[in-house]
Amino acid sequence: MKKCRIVASMALAAMLALMVGIGPAKAEDKEVVWSADEKPIYDQIHTLRSLPDDVRAKTTKDLALKIRQLPANDNKLRLAVALANLSTEGDFGHDTLQEVAMTLEQTLKEHPLPWPKPTQAEGDNKSASAQPEPASPYVELASLVRYEHVEAALDSDQYRAAMARLEADDRKREHADFSLKDLSGKTWTFSELLGKVVLVNFWATWCPPCRKEMPDLEALYERFAPQGLVILGISDEEAAKVEPFIKERKVTFPVLLDPGSKVKETFVVEGIPKTFIYGRQGKLVAQSIDMRTQKQFLEMLAKAGIQ
């Protein structure tokens, strides 16, 4: 499930059909039809990013409650997943996230999904006894529980598989290493940064939440670099696109290029922005699954002794 966390330029209804893993195989095959109760919720979700953060927090919580009242069907699940997808783009409060998680949990209880069929490539690369990947809504709920510290009690094999997958992903990130060049051609090797606090941020020029958090990252870099903070922004886009973007925004922390997305794959990054913070001994001490505010970044950095 690739997301920015939701790509604003996509038709939302088509995107929802694809990301939830229900409905048509191709977005153009069948238009999603919304009921009179569903359409206003869909419209509000579509405009969430245009709202001020305080209004957005209240609206997100209200939408979670409204979705909960809908009859169980594919559209309710589409709306619950879309709201969860957007609810982590900043700091909208733990209570808001808990309501969003409860809505998604309830919807999956009412409308459980079958295990997805493996693609041909997955079938070729996995043994017959290997467990298939859980459907993306279960991963979305597991991510809220594991990384946003909300509560859910879904008795589902897919949910348990999603939690196990996230745990496995985190183990890979504990031992991640890489060497990448920045825009000036300098090579940065992660394992050579022991003794520093390293913040690794995956981003892209086309991603609105990535752009929104970048000034906060720059401010943190200017403030804490003397204390040993290293920020590495990693993009898998071409230099010709990244360089003018960085110059225009006067970003001074190193921006590394990841051709072929190899490091992105090493960190198991399927959606951006994502941030990982490593302490001075190279241990992963904090991470985020989405955009963070400066206050949230400060809380993460405190776990590495930066404050």
CATH number of the domain that residue 230 is part of: 3.40.30.10
Q: Are 214 and 297 in contact (CB under 8 A)?
A: no
> Do residues 18 and 167 share a domain?
yes
Question: From edge to edge, which strands make up the β-sheet containing 229-235?
Answer: 255-257, 229-235, 197-202, 274-278, 284-288
DSSP string, 171-227: HHHHT---EEEBTTS-EEEGGGGTTSEEEEEE--TT-HHHHHHHHHHHHHHHHHGGG
> Do residues 209 and 139 share a domain?
no
Q: What is the pTM of this model?
A: 0.88
Q: Is residue 258 part of a domain?
A: yes
Q: Is residue 4 part of a domain?
A: no
Q: Are 193 and 230 in contact (CB under 8 A)?
A: yes
> Do residues 185 and 157 share a domain?
no
Is 16 strand, coil or helix? Answer: helix
> Do residues 90 and 160 share a domain?
yes
Q: Where are the alpha helices (DSSP H) in the chain?
A: 12-20, 38-46, 53-68, 74-87, 94-110, 120-125, 136-148, 157-174, 208-224, 239-248, 262-266, 294-302
> Do residues 53 and 167 share a domain?
yes
> Do residues 237 and 208 share a domain?
yes
What are the φ and ψ backbone dihedral angles of 170, each rounded to 5 degrees?
-65, -35
> Do residues 91 and 158 share a domain?
yes
Task: State which of 119, 137, 171 marks the end of a domain.
Answer: 171
Task: State which of 129, 147, 171 marks the end of a domain.
Answer: 171
Contacts 24+ apart (CB under 8 A), 156-159: 156/108, 156/112, 158/112, 158/113, 158/115, 158/134, 159/108, 159/134
> Do residues 282 and 138 share a domain?
no
By residue range, what is the domain housing residue 269? 179-302
pLDDT in tens, the chain (307 residues): 445 654 333 445 444 544 444 444 344 446 899 999 999 999 999 999 999 999 999 999 999 999 999 999 999 999 999 999 999 999 999 999 999 999 999 999 999 999 998 765 555 555 544 678 999 999 999 999 999 999 999 999 999 999 999 999 999 999 889 999 999 999 999 999 999 999 999 999 999 999 999 999 999 999 999 999 999 999 999 999 999 999 999 999 999 999 999 999 999 999 999 999 999 999 999 999 999 999 999 999 999 999 9
> Do residues 198 and 256 share a domain?
yes
